Amino acid sequence: MENKSILIENVTILGDEIKKGSVLIENDKIVDITDNINSNDADEVISGDKKVLIPGLVNTHTHLSMTLMRGLADDLALETWLNEHIWPVEANLTGDHCYAGALLGCVEMIKSGTTTFNDMYFFMDYVAKAVKEAGLRCLLSHGMIDLGDEEKRKKEFKESIRIIKKCNDSADGRIQVAFGPHTPYTCSTELLEGVRKEANKYGVKIHIHVSETQNEIQQIVEAHGKRPFEYLEDIGFLGEDIIAAHAVWVSDNEMEIIKSRNVKISHNPASNMKLASGVSPVDKMLKNGICVSLGTDGAASNNNLDMLEEMKTAALLQKVHNLDPTALSAEKVFEMATMGGATALGLEREIGSIEVGRKGDLVLLDMKTPHLTPFRHPISHIVYSANGGDVSTVICNGEIMMRDKELKILNEKEVLNMAEEAANDLISRS
């Protein structure tokens, strides 16, 4: 990496405290935060006037290439949505489809302020190629499903290990790889136990959906006599390296298990609401000291990847569900989308806050707009009033991804055309 520096000057910084100042990035790290940085010392100077600087947002549960299926099957129950619409289309996916869909997702995330994400899907080396080109940071996993079939199980391990060996710690360390068993009801006990063993062997994380719907709970109880997290605990699967998406239907006993094993939870409120899956007890989990982060889920069940919008949805859902306006405050949900996400992905020492020594993953929001005026409480404004369209400039790993709303790393028009063509080709095959 060539030696270069970026100075963001005279900006409102949302760090440990909210303050005015300047931030200097050299190569991929923040090296100074002060009032007196000389702009002549920097290769690039970005004005922070009337802007707020936040850490890059962290989306801890996506299926990035599903951008190609946005709007394909809406207003359906999860089982109907998956079995009758999504899985039949996914049977025709190719690597090129996933590459185009991932590039589209990267553009959408950059433009709405996400710099790090956690993805589970297929053809993940093609997704890694897209992420490398886009300049973002991610944890990728091949979605593993065996439905009790031994031959299928062998193929899933072969593919997962291939992706780990090919892509883990690539793109200057921006791309990490995890194991991605789909769910406890689509994966056999043998697969889950094998994942635990192999994750320990390779030293990688595990990304899994758990307790998304009541139907899932019923299936696991009938099959194993225990609720999902109890079953996973019983087979020795759980640990601090687990990122469990959804956790909607969680009992008090399961909450104790999650806490004792330091399992990380990814809350996906918009997707849970759209599929009528239920309301995760996020406020209660946070009060119990559980790490809860925020994810959008895929663009086929959300239907966007806008983490600013997701923050507002998360806060409002907890308030109305608990009939408590103090539930899940703006500050707490902002933390879920930044440091909570960093902690979930094991990156809490690198990203998630604006501090000297952290990676240069930063986002500038333009606060001089009608819906953000008057400018009073920055975090409240960001959570309750802002949206992805307010993102002005995005920096990841010390590289400018977007400046003044203009993409610098990808050709947006080309990506949109490629994605449109890929989506049409995918549907025509289905």
Residue 2's pLDDT band, with cuts at 50, 70 and 90, is low
Say whether both 49 and 67 belong to one domain.
Answer: no
Residue 17's pLDDT band, with cuts at 50, 70 and 90, is confident
Dihedral Cα 31, 33, 39, 41, nearest 10 deg: -20
| 170 has a pLDDT exceeding 90 | yes
* The predicted structure's pLDDT at residue 329: 97
Q: Is 93 inside any structural domain?
A: yes
Of residues 77 and 223, which shows the higher confidence score?
Answer: 223
Say whether both 197 and 277 belong to one domain.
Answer: yes
Q: Is 353 inside any structural domain?
A: no
Report strand pairing: 18-26 vs 29-34.
Answer: antiparallel
Say whether both 95 and 242 belong to one domain.
Answer: yes
Say whether both 310 and 163 belong to one domain.
Answer: yes
Say whether both 45 and 70 belong to one domain.
Answer: no
Domain encompassing residue 33: 5-55+358-412
Sheet holding 242-246, edge to edge: 57-62, 114-121, 137-144, 175-181, 206-210, 242-246, 264-267, 292-294
- For the segment 393-407, what is each residue's pLDDT rounded down to a tens digit? 999 999 999 999 999
Say whether both 199 and 293 belong to one domain.
Answer: yes
d(CA 430, CA 427): 5
Say whether both 194 and 245 belong to one domain.
Answer: yes
Residue 177's pLDDT band, with cuts at 50, 70 and 90, is very high
Q: In a 3-state reduction of DSSP, which class is residue 316?
A: helix
Say whether both 63 and 9 belong to one domain.
Answer: no
- For the segment 325-382, what is each residue's pLDDT rounded down to a tens digit? 999 999 999 999 999 999 999 999 999 999 999 999 999 999 999 999 998 899 999 9
d(CA 141, CA 125): 10
CATH number reported for the structural domain that contains residue 282 in this entry = 3.20.20.140
51 sits in which H/E element: strand 51-55
Q: What is the crossing angle of helices 150-167 and 189-202, to 10°?
A: 20
> Are the C-beta atoms of 174 and 119 separated by less than 8 Å?
no
- For the segment 377-388, what is each residue's pLDDT rounded down to a tens digit? 999 999 999 999
Q: Report the share of the chain in percent with pLDDT over 70.
A: 99
Say whether both 148 and 84 belong to one domain.
Answer: yes
| 155 has a pLDDT exceeding 60 | yes
CATH number reported for the structural domain that contains residue 380 in this entry = 2.30.40.10
What does residue 32 show for φ and ψ, rounded to 5 degrees? -160, 140
| 309 has a pLDDT exceeding 50 | yes
pTM of the model: 0.97
Say whether both 117 and 12 belong to one domain.
Answer: no
Q: Is 419 inside any structural domain?
A: no
d(CA 65, CA 120): 9
Q: Is 296 inside any structural domain?
A: yes
Say whether both 167 and 208 belong to one domain.
Answer: yes
- For the segment 206-260, what is each residue's pLDDT rounded down to a tens digit? 999 999 999 999 999 999 999 999 999 999 999 999 999 999 999 999 999 999 9
Q: Is 240 inside any structural domain?
A: yes
Q: In a 3-state reduction of DSSP, which class is residue 114?
A: strand
Q: What is the tally of structural domains in the chain? A: 2
* The predicted structure's pLDDT at residue 37: 78
Q: Is 255 inside any structural domain?
A: yes
* The predicted structure's pLDDT at residue 1: 45
d(CA 321, CA 407): 39
Helices (H) and strands (E) in the chain, counts: 16, 17
Q: Report the share of the chain in percent with pLDDT over 90.
A: 93
Mean residue pLDDT of the chain comes to: 96
Tell me the two tokens of residue 3: 């030696």
Long-range Cβ pairs for the range 322-325 (8 Å, 24+): 322/283, 324/283
What does residue 273 show for φ and ψ, rounded to 5 degrees? -70, -45
